[in-house]
Amino acid sequence: MTASLRIQGIGYVPGRASGLITRGPTPTGRGIALIREDEIPALDAAGPLPAGLVVIDGAPFSHRCITLLGLGCPAVLIGSEEAGTLRPGLLVRIDGAGGLIRIGNPERTEVPAPRPSTPPAGRPVPSRDGSPVALRASVRSPIAAARAVAAGASGIGLVRSEFLLPAGGGIPDERFYHRTLTALCIASAGLPVNIRLLDLAPDKLPAWLPPAAAMTSTLGLQGARLFDVEPVASVVRAQLAAIAGLRQRQWLGVTIPYLTQRGELRLWLTEVRRMLGPPIAVGAMAETPAAVLDIGRWLADADFVAIGCNDLMQGLFAADRDQPALRRYLDPYDPVLHRLLAQAAAAAGNRVDQVQLCGLLPQVQGVLPVLLGLGFRAVSVDAGQIPYLAAAVRATSIPEATTLAEAVCAADDAAEVRRLLGVPAP
C-alpha cells in the first residue's frame, strides 16, 4: 500500500475526482490526467475527458488555463517539483476547489462532492441578508450560451466574439455574424446578452489577420486599438451591422474592449452608438489601472463598464499572464489589487451596480465575498462556476463581507489575506 500523502496545489476548477494518474492529455479510462500547460489545447471538450486534471506549472490567469473552466473536469495546478511525486499508475484523489491532492489508501472510495443547487436562470442570487447579486456567464458559442441558461446564469455577461469564426478560417462578414449571433440569442432563452466587440490580442490572432510587430506584445496593438486598422475595421463594422439587426430580439449590450483613455472612450462610444442606434446599451472594458482609476468619469459617458480583471492584474503587476514563470507575481490575494478595486467601487458610487467584474478573479477560492464587501454586485464568469458561486453568495452576509474586505485592504501582504480568508498557501 502506498503511504498516504498530500500535495497542496492551487484549486482551479471545483469538483472532486479519483483515479489512476495518466500522463498526457489523452485520457486512459477515467483517470486523472497529469499534463503541462502547453498540452491544454489538445484536450477536446467534445470528446472523452479524464475524470480530473492536474496541470504542471500552469499560469492561472493565462488564456490556455482559462479554457479549462469550460471543460467541467475538476482541476488542480501544481509545480514541477510536486509533479515528480505523481508517477503514472498512482491512485490519487483531487479536490478542485481547495487544490488538495491525496495520494494512497487505494482501498478507500472517493465520494464526489455534491454539486450545489442551480439558481433560477434570469434572476439575481440573494445574499444571506437579501442583497441581489448578478451571476452572469461569459460565453464563446451558442452551445456555451445554452449551458449558461442550464447553469442558472442571470444573463450573458460577455460574448467573446473573437472566438466566433467561420469554418475554414475566412474573414467573418455581416451574414456570418447575423446567423451566429441569432443562434446565440436563441440559445440564451431571452436572457440579457452583452456582446464584446472583436477583442484581438497577441494570443488571440485569427488566421485572417496578417501579422504585425505591434501585435506581438501584451502592451501593443489589441482590442479597440485595432478598430481603425484593416481588415479588423471591416470585421468590426460587420459585427455592428449584424448586432443592429438583432435589436428587437431581447436586451442587448455591446462592450468596446481595451480602452485606456477617456478621450478614446468617447470617440468609440460615439461611433458605435451611431452605427447601432437605440435601444442597444453601449459600455466599455476597463482593463488597465489607468482605466479603472477613472471609472467614475467613464460611467458618466458609458451605459456600463466591465472590469477585465485578468488584464488588469497583468498591467498592475507588470507580469505577462501567459508566462508560467511569472505566475507568482499575479497573486489574486495581493491586497494592492483589492485596494485598487475598492477605489473603483467608491468612484462608481451609486452606479456600482453598472460595473461588472469579468475574468478569473471572482472564481478564485475565497475571493467573491471580498468583492461583494467592496460593493460590487455583478460578475461574469464561466457557466460551470455559477452554482458554486451562487452557494457562496447565499452564505455571505454583506455587512460581514464589508468588514472582511476592509481587513483585506488593510493587510500587509498576500499571506495575511490568505489567513483572513482561510485559504491554504500552495
pLDDT tens-digit profile of 402-415? 999 999 999 999 99
Q: 193-196 and 156-160: which strand pairing?
A: parallel
Instruction: Report, as an integer, the average pLDDT of 78-83.
Output: 89
Place of cell 482590442: 223
106-115: list long-range contacts, CB under 8 Å, 24+ apart. 106/1, 106/2, 107/1, 109/18, 110/16, 110/17, 110/18, 111/16, 112/15, 112/16, 112/17, 113/14, 113/15, 113/16, 115/15, 115/387
pLDDT at residue 110 tops 70: no
Query: Does the global pTM surpass 0.75?
Result: yes
How would you classify residue 109: left for phi > 0, otherwise alpha for psi between -120 and 50, otherwise beta? Answer: beta
List the beta bridge partners of residue 7: 101
The C-alpha cell that represents 371 in the structure block: 468583492
Confidence category of residue 72, pLDDT binned at 50, 70, 90:
confident
Q: CB–CB of 280/252 below 8 Å?
A: yes
Compute and round to an integer the Cα radius of gyration of the chain.
21
List of domains in the chain: 5-103 (3.50.30.10), 125-421 (3.20.20.60)
Instruction: Report, as an integer, the average pLDDT of 347-362.
Output: 97
The C-alpha cell that represents 416 in the structure block: 495575511
pLDDT at residue 106 tops 50: no
Contacts of 296 (CB under 8 A, 6+ apart): 347, 348, 349
What value does the mean pLDDT of the chain take?
92
Residue 10, phi then psi, degrees to nearest 5: -105, 120
Least confident of 30-44, 225-239, 263-277: 30-44
pLDDT at residue 4 tops 60: no
Confidence category of residue 5, pLDDT binned at 50, 70, 90:
confident
Confidence category of residue 425, pLDDT binned at 50, 70, 90:
confident
Question: How many helical (H) and strand (E) elements, i.e. helices and strands, does the chain have?
Answer: 14, 17
Q: In 3D, which of 159, 153, 160 has the Cα closest to residue 191?
A: 153
Bond prior to 279 in cis (omega within 30° of 0): yes
List the beta bridge partners of residue 33: 22, 53
Amino acid of residue 190: G
pLDDT in tens, 160-190: 999 999 998 899 999 999 999 999 999 999 9
Instruction: Report, as an integer, the average pLDDT of 194-217.
Output: 86
